[in-house]
């Protein structure tokens, strides 16, 4: 049996392994947005972070197995979009 650190990154995380913030980021991505700036405004108001930080977190989530398990439809859609953008560069 292995002892895990008391203050590890998953402390207080739900069974999916994703933090509350990670799940909130995925929830924002599940929504459709109308009008310019609506999504950025929601990011600031709901998550209390800048859009730049939001996209950094989102990009990391797309490579996280736990995010794929928690929300495969959203994660796979965003992975396809990311790959298409990389292919155009």
- In angstroms, the CA 71 to CA 78 distance is 11
For residue 26, give every residue at least 6 positions away whose Cβ sits within 8 Å of its Cβ, in sequence order, or none: 18, 61, 67, 70, 71, 74, 75
Give the pLDDT confidence score for residue 15 in this predicted structure: 55
Q: How far is CA 15 from CA 10, 40, 61, 85, in A?
A: 9, 29, 16, 33
Asked whether 31 and 41 are in contact (CB, 8 A), the reply is no
Mean pLDDT by 10 residues, the chain (89 residues): 41 69 96 91 96 96 96 96 88
pLDDT at 86: 86
For residue 20, give the nearest of 11, 7, 29 by alpha carbon.
11
Please state the domain extents for the chain.
20-88
> What pLDDT, on the 0 to 100 scale, is given for residue 63?
97
């Amino acid at each position: 049996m292995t002892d895990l650190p008391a203050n590890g990154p998953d402390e207080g995380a739900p069974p999916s392994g994703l933090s509350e913030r990670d799940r909130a980021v995925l929830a924002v991505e599940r929504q459709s947005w109308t009008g310019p700036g609506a999504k950025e405004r929601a990011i600031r108001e709901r998550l209390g972070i800048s859009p730049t930080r939001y996209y950094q977190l989102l990009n990391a989530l797309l490579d996280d197995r736990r995010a794929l398990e928690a929300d495969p439809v959203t994660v796979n859609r965003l992975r396809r979009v990311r790959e298409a953008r990389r292919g155009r560069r």
